[in-house]
Structures are given as structure tokens and as C-alpha cells.
Structure 1
Amino acid sequence: MQSQQNIENVASELLATQNLKLVSGKSLQSLWAGYGHICQLKVLPSVTTGLSQQRPISLILKYISPPTTKPDQLHTESHLRKVLSYHIEQYFYTHLAPQMPPEIAVAKCFSSIGSKADSTATAMIMTDLREAFPIAGEKRSELSEKQVCATIDWLASFHGFWWKRVKSFDRAKLCLPPLEHFKKTHTTVADEGVWLNGGYTYYATRLDEFGDLCQSESEWRGPLCGGLSSEDGAASLASIVAKFLAPTISGERHVLDYETLIHGDVKSENLFTTASGDAVAFFDFQYVGLGLGVCDLAKLFTCSVPQESLEEDVAEEMGMGIGEEKLLRYYLDKLKSVSGKDYDWNVFVRHWETALVDWLRFQASWGFWGNTDWLEGRVRRILKDEGWIAYVKSV
């Protein structure tokens, strides 16, 4: 763990590039598993402007310095995923975020230090989103109805903006799953780009947890670990769904025309809202990458949308409810408006259903939370839909 003095030295070095000086700093929180700190900085211009009284402005330092790791843990998927994710987040803030219009609110990166091949430390100084978005989304909390609409607005705008630009990405330079990336490059540095497959829960990086599920007594062992038919051979439903959703380097896949950039970790604790709740700003772009926008929605709906907004009467098995459909159509209308592209409702629904099955696979493997009764009821119905089965097998 870095000392307060070391953190302040890094902050001062970054601030100096912007002609700013550090007045004070305090740690707001430690990052997951001790990989760094989020600090609030109070700063002033380093050059006197002639004003008799100046008020310090608030900025945020995100400082990444992974803890000392035992040799046998250096190349584990968990460690590599975390280290790579912070490089990818920095790439997003320094290269991609500046391209976005102001209505897709994210922090502005003023200055950054990237790591070299022999170092995993990185640091960024960014705007303090709480100045304009003072309400923090709490851990595993439900959003209000107005906040839900604002969140869907943000996601539809983000997905729509990148949907018409994502084909310009050089897929060969995007970051592969952690173990594949290290095998290919022998480094823990993501030099360029975002994840080829956005999110941190996808099948290729969660094989250990899925293996545990397939050895468990869970209700979902049979449906997810088994194939759709005898024709599938050893292919599990989970792997078939993963193949449907996973972006590829070649780009040759069934849903290529619908791929965009996704946030990858959409939940209430990764956003701030205005006091009125009519606008949101997202942060934590560690798992940004290619994918279908519905994959972001699947986590949002399960983890942060009030269940009654989706379906008032949750059943053991159920189709799409009025509330769920209303929110999905709201998202789709906004997405098409921003992107200027078409997305047929029936195709969109098939993508949505597939994303729900994949998200349930992660929860069943890792642990359930959120609107789990709704999620499980929806997936039980989806898995009995012959039309959906034929659709996912068509990849």
C-alpha cells in the first residue's frame, strides 16, 4: 500500500503539468483488493492571477498501485484482469471519452501517468463528477423511477454514439481475455484499445465458476451445463450463448451489425445523479469494450431497477411484462434516435433474451443478488421458447 506522501507526490507531479498546485488531499476509498486509491484533491492555480482570494477547486485522483503479489499469483486470471482493466480505463478516458458529446456525461481526464512494461502503476487526475452530480448511487441499491429513465437515457446515448463508430476500431489491437492477453504479449500492460469483449462476467473468463456450477446441485446445472439438443454434442447451452454474444477479432459473426461499445459494469454504485435525478454520469470504465448494448441492460435491470418497475407479480416462469417492455422500448427508441440506425424490435428482443440467459449463467455460477426471482422466471420461459432456441443456434 502506498503512503499518503507517495500519493501526494504523484498528485503534485500530475497537477504541475496543468499549472496547478495541491492544497490538500484525502483518500475517499481504497480500490477493490487493495489495488489503489481514489482521492479528492483541493487545488489552486500555481501562477498568481492577481485575485485577492481564490477558492480551491475539487479534482479526483485515481491512483493504481497493485499490492505485492506472490509469484504464483502474478499470472492468475483475477490479478491480470484487474491490472489490465485499469490500463483500459485510462485508455478510455484519454482517447475515447474526449470524442463524446457533453450530454453523455463522464469525467474529464486532465493528466495521466501510464505504466511501462515493468510497472503496473498508473494515475489519472479527473474532474469531480459530484460537483454537477451530487447524488451517489449506493452499493446494490435501487434507483428511483426518474433515475432509471436517466440511466437508460445515458446508456442509449453511449451505445448509440459508439454503434456508428465501432467499426473503425482495429480489433487486432483490442485486449483479449486476461490469460490469452498475457500468453500473447507476456505483459500486464494493455498498450492500446479496450477489451475485445466488454464486461468482466463473460463465459471465457469465468470457466472456473461455471465448472463449479456444473458440479453443484443447482437448478441451473442441467439447463446451462447441458446442450440444447443431441446435435450439439458436448457444447453446453452456456457456451452456445457465449458464442452468440462474444465479439471476435475477425468480426465475422451473426450480430456484428449490432455491436457497439458497452460500459461493462452497469450498476447503481458506478454512477452519480443530479439532485433531481433527471440526469446521470457514469464512471468506472475498467471493463469497457465491444458487445451488445443489451448486456449492459441485463445487469442494470437485475441489480438496480426496482422489481415492480419490471413486473408487479413475479411468477415461477414468465414472459416479458408490461413494465419491462416499456423500459426496453424507451431504450430502443433513444438508441435509434442517437445512432440514426435501425434495430428491429423482434431482433432486439432475441438479443435481450440471450443477454438475460448469459447474465443468469454468471449469477448462478458466482452468486445471486438483485431481482433474482424476476431473472430466473424470465429465463425459465426463454429456455422453453423454440423460436429463441433456433435463433441462438443459427450463429
Structure 2
Amino acid sequence: MTPEIFIKRALNASLVARTETIQGLWSGYGEIIRFSVEGSDIAKSVVLKAIQFGQIQNHPRGWQSSFAHDRKVNSYKVEANWYQDWSSGCTENERLPKLLASFYQEDETYLLLEDLDSAGFGHRCDFLSVEESTVVINWLASFHAHFLQSEVRDDWPEGLWPRGTYWHLATRPDEWSSMPEGDLKESAESIDKSIDQACYQTLVHGDAKLANFCFGDDLTSVAAVDFQYVGRGIGVQDLAYFLGSCFSESELNEHLDYLLELYFSELSRCILATGESPDTAEAVAAEWHGLFSIAWADFHRFILGWSPTHKKNTLFSRKMTEQALSQLRGA
């Protein structure tokens, strides 16, 4: 089925026209396209995520393999499950595009989504000031509080990643093998276990970089996109990844304590708003704060295996990683 026919039927529209290719999907697995719509009461503009996964694609950094292909295919299935079965529970404080329709066949999936540009989230940012970042930090805190679990069932979160984030150790054996020998490589399992065995778990976005947030024109409202790696984790995994995507080393050195205070203050407020006790809010904040450097080191482990010359391999990241390793050693 062509995208135009699918959209026309899904929205009961008289005319559907492709207006813009927003971007290609990573490693050539499809594209994200904007369409204009006429004659529908549902929308005048929509975004289609057209996913094609019939064969192994070429990875831009040479990491193509059947294992990597299967991981990527599963990530799109997870995203479809997220939009179909989980996303409707989110509030305006965790704004994201609404799923309008979906279509599946053997080698292709269509996810028809609300056009966030038309909904007032048409601004994209390459960087934010510390104060401007508050809206994203608040989004993350609300999301993590919303899905907080103190007792995790074996089947939770059904249909999503049992361990969220795209750099999760068990899904990156080749990258781990490529790491230089040293304390971080040897400690990778201990770092992973520290995250996995945290008492308080939640859903993490799993790819919470600045580029995956869409802003209102005044930068006081935000919505998130790209939920391929949503799954179980701890909130500071998203927080560490977002901060690393948003701020320079000098900004992080100067403002990290304040940024952490912003997140944990809002997280506690949001946990209380769900009806949990002050003791629970305090316990979650204390546990996750203690795991922040561990979460940072977990991503740094991935970078050192995947692309050690990447700009994210910074002195600040190495410092945070050393803090985590010292913490594991009990120093």
C-alpha cells in the first residue's frame, strides 16, 4: 500500500500530498515524511514514519551485522507498541505526538503521527541555555515520575525494551569487544548491574538527546519524539544523556549541580503529585542521585567501543566515569 492511500483511508481524506521529507531514518531504514491533507476532520497536516526493514542496511560507522539489524528492527516494533499501547497514558506534561493510525506488512511499517509543527511545537534547537533547558528537564522528571515502579513485574514493561536506552550493554556486545582494555571495560557488567538492580525503576525515553525534543516558539513548552528505545531503566540515564547532548564541558563543569537540583526537585514534586508519599519521593531522589555518575559511565562505555574519537569522548565524561569507577570500588 502506498503512503498516500494509507493516509487517505486512515483519515477519510479527499486529497493527500507529500510536502516534505523531514529526514531519513538511521542506516537507511526508511524516512519521516510530512503530508498535507484535505477533506479530513482529523488533521490538515500529518507526519508519516515509513520504516523498511527487509534487509541488513549499511551502518554509517561500519557496524552493520545481523545482530545490529535485529536490534534495529526490534526498536521499530517497540516504538509501534509504545504508540499503540502506552503513549495514551501520557499527560500534557509529557507531550508527544498522537498516533493517528498504523499499518504493518512483512517488511514495512507505517506510523501515522500528529504533526507537532502544526500543534505549536515547530521550533528545533541546536543548543539551550541552562534556564531554557528547564522545560526538557521538567518533561523528563514528569515522564519518569509517571511510570515509576517500586516493584517491577517480570513482564513489565510489556512490548517495550526490558532494558531501555540504545546503548544497553546486552545489546552492544560488538562495541564492548572493541573497547580498549582497562577498568571501564572490566567494570561494564558491574555498572550495568548497578542500574538494573536499583530499587526504583521507571520507563526511560532511551534516546533523550536535544534533537529529539520539539519546542514551542517561546521555548517554554516541549514535546518529545523518537521512542525506539523506550524501556525499563532509571531516570538519570535519560538525564545524563540529555545533559551531555545539550551542554559544553565548561557549562557542565559550572552548572551540573544546579541542573541536578532542578531535575530532582521537579522529580520529587511530580512523584508527590502521583499520590506517592514524601518518603518515597525522597528515596527515589537519593537512589538515582547516587547513580548519576554510574549512568554517565554506562554511556561512556558505549562511546569508547562504538566511536572512541567521537566528540562525546570528553574530559568531562572521562572525569564522570572515573567517579563511577571509584564509587564501584568503594573509594
The answer for the alignment partner of 1:240 in structure 2 is 190
The answer for the alignment partner of 2:144 in structure 1 is 159
Q: Which amino acid aligns with 2:97?
A: A
The answer for the alignment partner of 2:165 in structure 1 is 199
- Shift of the alpha carbon at 1:389? 2.9
The answer for the alignment partner of 1:66 in structure 2 is 53
CA–CA distance in 2 between the matches of 1:83 and 1:360? 24
Equivalent pair of 1:142/1:304 in contact (CA under 8 Å): yes
CA–CA distance in 2 between the matches of 1:374 and 1:357? 11
Larger radius of gyration: 1
Q: Which runs of 5+ in 2 are unaligned?
A: 58-62, 273-279
CA–CA distance in 2 between the matches of 1:332 and 1:325? 11
Residues 1:150 and 2:132 aligned together: no
The answer for the alignment partner of 1:209 in structure 2 is 175
CA–CA distance in 2 between the matches of 1:60 and 1:372? 36
- Shift of the alpha carbon at 1:278? 1.4
Residues 1:11 and 2:11 aligned together: no
Superposed counterparts of 1:67-86, under 5 Å? 68-69=55-56, 76-86=66-76
Equivalent pair of 2:121/2:216 in contact (CA under 8 Å): yes
The answer for the alignment partner of 1:330 in structure 2 is 262
Equivalent pair of 1:147/1:280 in contact (CA under 8 Å): no
Equivalent pair of 1:133/1:272 in contact (CA under 8 Å): yes
Q: Which of the numbers 238, 256, 281 marks the counterpart of 1:342?
A: 281
Residues 1:303 and 2:245 aligned together: yes
1:56-106 deviation per Cα after TM superposition (whole angstroms, max 9, x unaligned): 811101111125449xx9971111111111111111111111111122110
Residues 1:224 and 2:207 aligned together: no
The answer for the alignment partner of 1:379 in structure 2 is 321
Residue 110 of structure 1 aligns to a residue whose secondary structure is strand
CA–CA distance in 1 between the matches of 2:91 and 2:151? 16
The answer for the alignment partner of 1:362 in structure 2 is 302
Q: Which amino acid aligns with 2:80?
A: Q
Equivalent pair of 1:12/1:22 in contact (CA under 8 Å): no
CA–CA distance in 2 between the matches of 1:18 and 1:166? 41
CA–CA distance in 1 between the matches of 2:122 and 2:151? 32
- Shift of the alpha carbon at 1:311? 1.4
The answer for the alignment partner of 1:130 in structure 2 is 117
TM-score, scaled relative to structure 2 = 0.86
Q: Which of the numbers 272, 279, 301 marks the counterpart of 2:221?
A: 279
CA–CA distance in 1 between the matches of 2:213 and 2:151? 24
Root-mean-square deviation (Å)? 2.6
The answer for the alignment partner of 1:22 in structure 2 is 15
Residues 1:57 and 2:44 aligned together: yes
Q: Which amino acid aligns with 2:174?
A: D
The answer for the alignment partner of 2:276 in structure 1 is none
Q: Which of the numbers 25, 35, 39 marks the counterpart of 2:29?
A: 35
1:236-261 deviation per Cα after TM superposition (whole angstroms, max 9, x unaligned): 21111112223xxxxxxx41x31000
Residue 25 of structure 1 aligns to a residue whose secondary structure is strand
TM-score, scaled relative to structure 1 = 0.73
The answer for the alignment partner of 2:209 in structure 1 is 267
Equivalent pair of 1:166/1:260 in contact (CA under 8 Å): no
Equivalent pair of 1:109/1:127 in contact (CA under 8 Å): yes
Equivalent pair of 2:149/2:200 in contact (CA under 8 Å): no
Residue 281 of structure 2 aligns to a residue whose secondary structure is coil
Q: Which runs of 5+ in 1 are unaligned?
A: 1-5, 48-55, 175-191, 215-220, 226-235, 247-253, 313-322
Q: Which amino acid aligns with 1:357?
A: A
* Percent of aligned positions that are identical: 29
CA–CA distance in 2 between the matches of 1:11 and 1:331? 42
Distance 1:346 1:124, change over 3 A: closer
- Shift of the alpha carbon at 1:127? 0.8
- Shift of the alpha carbon at 1:309? 3.3
Q: Which amino acid aligns with 1:136?
A: R
Q: Which amino acid aligns with 1:245?
A: I
Residue 265 of structure 2 aligns to a residue whose secondary structure is helix
